[in-house]
Chain A
Amino acid sequence: MPVTKVLTAGIGECDLRDIAVYRQRGGYVQLHRALTTMKSTDVLDAAEKSGLRGRGGAGFPTGKKWSFLPGQIPTRYLVCNCDEAEPGTFKDHMLLEETPHLVLEGILLGAYGIGSHHAFIYIRGEFKRGYEIFMKAVADARAAGFIGKNVLGTGYDLELTVHRGAGAYICGEETGLLNSLEGKRGEPRLKPPFPAIAGLYGMPTVVNNVETLAYLVPILANGPEWFSAVGTERSKGYKIISISGHVQKPGNYEVPLGTPVRELIEIAGGLFPGRTLAAIQPGGGSSACIFPENLDDPYDYESLAKAGSMLGSGAFLVLDDRTDFVQAAYNMVRFFAHESCGQCTPCREGGHWLETVLHRFVQGRGLHSDLEMLHRVSGTITGLNLCALGDSIEPFLKSVLKRFPEQFEARIQTVAV
């Protein structure tokens, strides 16, 4: 079994929330080492060489993202995105609750890596427990001299601001998050300019996911080559996969990227007895389904893209032959329609329209003409939107509509009204 323990090491074995325990296990050594013996750019080089890609959903190479910051502007911000809200994803709040100091050390390393003196973390409003645990970690770390003026006597100032969201999916989109952090409506911004040029308060900003930043700690500890040695050609290192759905042991599992899809199901205890696999949504609510023929595909960015889906945030939803795909599609579309900020036309109107029509299907009141409309609209709106939310409405629907047309046809109203 390829389950590995990197970020998840120690979870369930000791109390990593205790700063003493965390330090005993080598915690904050990398921060100390970076601040005392490494230049900022060394951290950036390590991130770049490791091949680490963003673990929040887009999978953008982390080192490359950092390198977009213009050199001549000294004020710059690192923002840790802990607004984990992608349906099926539950890794970030586990890290926050179970190993808050690792998250914090990752943020501080990331901030140092981009030469920022002020980092922010945007924590989803619902994560009250994680927030409280993290706040204690911040207080302990501050007392130990890891945060504030003159960190560890190195002369480097590094302040941290913790912000709680108010519960909107769109605030996980990086520019929506920045607006929310500034106290504005959580609406994505028009790009360009990208955050690296004009982000938080108009300054150059990097927004990184919790898991991404946390991986900086083992990458510095073991060297970038240790990380890049694992995985496939363009998907390096490890990833925490949130496995849910029709498996016997759902949960977070940390695995090397490239682990075959079939093994992921086995890791999570396999299907329930007597059931067969119908579909897998491999990358969160925004992703299209893959099917039994993809079981031997490696779970990595490129293979999933080739299969017509994506790795996304690593939320792995297993759906067996009991699944009502009409209901499931309705649930997905309803989620995104509800979370649409309403700024741009395709997402605002398209999401709501699809939701309305699917609701009728759920009630057995579909029309023949609806099927054509579902195909046409779900096939067109992606790519027209201001941000990725609008492009997330249809992938699941479109994939199951194509795969299980009989389930939709069965919900077409047969009795004359």
Chain B
Amino acid sequence: MVNLTIDGVPVSVPKGTLLVEAVKKIQQEIPVYCYHPKLGPAGLCRVCLVDIEGMPKLQIGCNTPVAEGMVVRTRGEKVDTGRAMVLELLLVNHPLDCPICDKGGECDLQDYAMAYARGTSDVADAKTSKPKGVDLGPTIVLDEERCVVCQRCVRFDELIVGDQQLVLKDRGHKDMIATATGEPYRHHFTGNVTELCPVGALTSKTYRFKSRPWDLTRTQTSCTQCSVGCRMNADVRGGTLLRTMSVESDDAISDGWLCDRGRYNIGYVDSPERITQPLYRKDGSFVQISWDDAFALWAKALHDAKSAPESVGVIGGGRLLNEEAYLLGTLMRAIGVRNIDWRAGVQRQATPGRFSGTLEQLESANVILVIGASPAETAPVLDLRIRKAVRHGGRRFDIDAQNETAALMAARDARSVALVWDGSDVALGARFHELLSGHASLSTFIAGEQGNARGAEALGLLPRDTSLDTAAMLDAARAGTMRVLNLFGVNPALNFSDPALVAEAMRATPFSVVTELFMTETAKQATLVLPVRSAFEKSGTIINATGELLPVEAALEAPVGVLSDLEVLIGLAQALDIALPTEEEVRRTVIAAAAQRSDDAFGDARYVWSQKQAVQAQRRHLFAGGGTSAHDVRIAALRPADSLAIPVGV
């Protein structure tokens, strides 16, 4: 430990700590623009000046490590004069268009200028004119005049994403942020630069001119758009979800980042196309009915099938919260239903088994083997962890599903190996798993695209023994032996490998229920469509890809007439006159389920898709955002072209 004095207060911090971090120990702050804890010092903005005894010149706090006996002043005339000068200079050419700037109210330039700068200006000349409203790409708009050239965005691309698209071009006071090639700025993580930008230079297209930060109500929740479960702030104004922001302190899950899918695929929640009343198919077309009637019809259908519970199937669960998944399983099993399977898309497995790893293990892995998967597409922020591992000296191998030799060679001398695949081909996962199981420190990850698939597995939404899985249920339905199909938050007509089978199965089933936000391809073929809440409109928990139990908090009121899947299940239970477990029982079960790590997750490899089927399905569902993005026109621009989608295992 190194002992020093900051503003008269003795501080003890580990060797190598930078002053900018050391001052946080005494609840002080050194203003910064270019420095960022995740990007390190750059020494560009020069606003973090401190006065160190024995040094004639002011020093920058961001690149000065602590030293034994150092005496540091973060205020005082010398510091204040230097800092005020830097701020005055930053404002010389700043447009001061705060009244129309999205950043106004949460802008570091505003805040520090108010705290440390002179209140007056000596500028008598016209300000430098630079391009405003520059369309950088599908997501970001750039205002060059507001830029303070801290290069956080440039360094984010370089250090964190590893895809150097943004660069500084030109020189001196004419310098500007641009893409190196002049092509649109696009990768999976562009939105983060709007949060890194300390001023209003980089703004999100989806949020521009929408709100003031002080008008927003913030709720911390977890993202449910893939299996990573990034902690996330949902900002709501007047009942409208306007933006989602990362949680900077979330080192455990998101590492402080969000992907563009998680950040920008939010407009669907207030889409006018959302269904808000139960719909019942009568004489070939849908009519609106009351919830009471819906529960009565549904309960009757289930009651009629009571003598033959094998003719009832339940598909879905990956989009449900843990509590809902548990109630679904409990309720259905209470009436004898055994055909239950959460898997309606390409993903076949969510729990990686006895070598299940933590994100810290992934980050510090020596060798990362990505087997026939594209984590950047299915679980983007997990891919950032892999890139972090690479930055720390780890080596990444994207290995062809057939190439076991390459995997063995890559892993041979590694101290720690992380195996990443997408859970779609269970046999593949099992094969590589066995292949590498002799390795001393193997950790396995499933970069799945379903938000709570692992929760659904942990809470038992899988077929047992001789009961039917999704494909078998659909086959049986097509053959006319299914009487009731219950689909919860799934859209197999879009995501399942064989859409024709889904259509035929739905048509041949006398009574099918779909809980949905929208009239999806699947819902259109159902008997009863029940409008349910989105993940922003309900509270509960999920279990992410690495087994963490994460809270989901309601940030929004649901549209009138819309229930959560939980309320739907309670309504059905009442109509069936079945007692459900108490809230406390549900809570305890969920916690226990999250705590257990399944040792035999490779039990179910009953059918394996052909490569071609898998590729087709994958192409369709990438960026589908759980079936919601189709209803958000703003997300369209983010969908990769077909040629960009990396096919699975090819």
Contact = CB atoms under 8 A, between A and B. Distances in A.
Interface of A: 168, 185, 190, 192, 337-346, 348-353, 356-357, 360, 367, 369-370, 372-373, 376-377, 380-381, 383-386
Contacts of B170: 342
Nearest to A355: B173
A15 to B, nearest CB: 40
Interface in B359-416: none
Nearest to B42: A190
12 contacts: A168-B171, A190-B63, A337-B172, A338-B172, A344-B43, A345-B149, A349-B90, A349-B92, A360-B124, A383-B82, A384-B46, A384-B49
A340 B148 contact: no
A341 B172 contact: yes
B168 interface: yes
A66 to B, nearest CB: 25
Contacts of A339: 172
A395 to B, nearest CB: 15
Given A190-B42, A192-B63, A381-B85, A348 B122 contact: no
A367 B122 CA distance: 11
Contact of B128 (A346, A352, A372): A352
Interface in B41-75: 41-47, 49, 57-58, 63
Contacts of B168: 185, 342
Nearest to B65: A192
Interface string B344-356: 0000000000000
B595 interface: no
A211 B172 CA distance: 30
A338 B172 CA distance: 7
B172 A350 contact: no
Given A190-B42, A340-B173, A345 B124 contact: no
Contacts of B151: 343
B172 A345 contact: no
A194 to B, nearest CB: 12
Contacts of A338: 172
Contacts of A352: 92-93, 128, 172-173
A386 B85 contact: no
A352 to B, nearest CB: 4
A342 B148 CA distance: 10
Nearest 8 interchain pairs by C-beta: A342-B175, A349-B89, A190-B43, A352-B173, A373-B122, A340-B172, A383-B57, A342-B172
Contacts of A372: 122
B583 interface: no
Contacts, number: 97
Contacts of B86: 345-346, 384
Contacts of A369: 122, 124
A247 B82 CA distance: 40
Given A192-B63, A351-B173, A384-B85, A342 B122 contact: no
B125 interface: yes
B308 interface: no
Contacts of B128: 352
A288 B151 CA distance: 33
Chain B interface helix/strand/loop/mixed:
loop
A337 B123 CA distance: 17
Contacts of B43: 190, 344, 386
Contact of A345 (B90, B125, B171): B90
B174 A345 contact: no
The range of chain B's interface size is 20 to 34
A79 B42 CA distance: 24
B358 interface: no
A353 B92 contact: yes
A345 B149 CA distance: 8
A367 B124 CA distance: 9
B81 interface: yes
B307 to A, nearest CB: 76
A185 B158 CA distance: 14
A342 B173 contact: yes
Contact of B171 (A340, A353, A380): A340
A386 B44 contact: yes
A328 B42 CA distance: 34
Nearest to A338: B172
Interface in B95-133: 122-125, 128
A345 B175 contact: no
B171 A344 contact: no
Interface centre among B42, B82, B92, B168 (most CB of A within 10 A): B92
A232 to B, nearest CB: 24
A139 to B, nearest CB: 35
Interface centre among B45, B82, B90, B172 (most CB of A within 10 A): B172
A344 B90 CA distance: 10
Contacts of B174: 342
Interface centre among B41, B47, B86 (most CB of A within 10 A): B86
Interface string B148-167: 11010000000000000000
Contact of B89 (A341, A350, A356): A350
B81 to A, nearest CB: 7
A345 B89 contact: yes
Interface centre among B63, B89, B151 (most CB of A within 10 A): B89
A343 B42 CA distance: 9
Contact of A386 (B46, B49, B81, B172): B46
Contact of A360 (B45, B46, B125): B125
A370 B124 CA distance: 8
A146 B309 CA distance: 93
A85 to B, nearest CB: 14
